[in-house]
Amino acid sequence: DIQMTQSPSSLSASVGDRVTITCRASQSVSTYLNWYQQKPGEAPKVLIYAALDLQSGVPSKFSGSGSETDFTLTISSLQPEDFATYYCQQTYSFPPTFGQGTKVEIK
């Protein structure tokens, strides 16, 4: 199985901050890497697919980059509605696996 490791596991940030979350795969996943946002009590929601493509309806403050084993999710200017847990997921090979999550909290 491909292991997905996110860092940090949690972070505290202020409104307006630029935030970067990284995801590392234990082997290459090409660009088959997705990012999801999950708020408490809700289902995850896709933000970025194929490493850098913005899902329809998702604000452009979210961006993704990377390939092979190293990926990043960036939030350009953190807003109150962005405080949530973020997960990466690889769909390159079975089983599709998720990172452990990064919880973004208010400083």
Partner 1 sequence: QVQLQQWGAGLLKPSETLSLTCGVHGGSFSGYYWKWIRQPPGKGLEWIGEINHSGSTTYNASLKSRVTISVDTSKNEFSLRLRSVTAADTAVYYCARFTSLKAVATSLWGYLDLWGRGTLVTV
Binding residues (CB under 8 A) for partner 1: these are 32, 34, 36, 42-46, 49-50, 55, 87, 89, 91-101
CB of residue 7 to partner 1, shortest distance in Å: 14
CB of residue 25 to partner 1, shortest distance in Å: 14
Nearer to partner 1, 14 or 56 (CB): 56
Q: Give the β-pairing of 102-106 and 10-13.
A: parallel
CB of residue 32 to partner 1, shortest distance in Å: 5
d(CA 25, CA 30): 10
Nearer to partner 1, 13 or 46 (CB): 46
Nearer to partner 1, 61 or 103 (CB): 103
95 cis-preceded (ω within 30 degrees of 0): yes
Nearer to partner 1, 50 or 106 (CB): 50
